[in-house]
């Protein structure tokens, strides 16, 4: 077996596991609960593969040094050595300067939903919050 075939097989298995976790949450009918389950599945999945210099955090908010706040963030990729400004069991507030990425988890996405999410990001970001590509 060639080396690239071995890597391809490993990556296929990883993708299959993630897809299985996503499909499994489909048995839940309550939209909010299903969304929370899918957010948790994605967070656990990413946590397995991210370098330990980053932390995959669950639900929370970002705050800028000027006090501006983001909306609720489903999954945040933050600097692992930065303590949260405030935390509870399942929610935290962290400085925007310590956040590398935010992921919005959607079970179904349409063009209209994508445009709505984009407008929300643009309108709620603080002055230190930038959008990839800007």
Q: What pLDDT was estimated at residue 70?
A: 86
User: Per the structure block, which two tokens stand in for 130?
Assistant: 């930038």
Predicted pLDDT at 32: 81
Nearest CA to 65 out of 86, 102, 96 is that of 96
Q: 3-state secondary structure string, 113-132?
A: HHHHHHHHHHHHCCCCCCCC
pLDDT by residue, tens only, the chain of 134 residues: 555 688 899 989 988 988 888 888 888 888 888 888 888 888 888 988 888 899 999 889 999 888 888 888 899 999 999 888 998 888 999 999 899 988 888 877 889 888 887 776 666 554 445 544 44
Q: Angle 31-49/3-24 helices, nearest 10 degrees? A: 160
Judging by DSSP bridges, how do beta strands 92-95 and 60-63 pair with one another? parallel
pLDDT of amino acid 49: 86
Separation in Å, CA 32 to CA 21, 28, 67: 17, 10, 28
Q: What angle do CA 46, 42, 9 make, to 5 degrees?
A: 65
Q: What is the CA radius of gyration of the chain?
A: 17
What's residue 121's pLDDT? 65
Q: What is the pLDDT of residue 95?
A: 93
């Amino acid at each position: 077996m060639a080396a690239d075939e071995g890597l391809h097989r490993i990556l296929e298995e990883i993708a299959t596991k993630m897809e299985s976790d996503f499909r499994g949450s489909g048995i839940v009918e309550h939209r909010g609960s299903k969304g929370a389950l899918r957010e948790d599945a994605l967070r656990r999945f990413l946590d397995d593969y991210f370098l330990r210099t980053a932390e995959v955090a669950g639900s929370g908010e970002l705050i800028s040094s000027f006090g501006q706040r983001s909306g609720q963030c489903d999954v945040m990729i933050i600097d692992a050595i930065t303590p949260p400004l405030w935390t509870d069991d399942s929610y935290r507030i962290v400085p925007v300067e310590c956040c590398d990425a935010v992921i919005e988890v959607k079970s179904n996405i349409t063009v209209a939903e994508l445009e709505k999410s984009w407008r929300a990001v643009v309108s709620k970001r603080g002055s230190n919050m930038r959008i990839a590509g800007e």
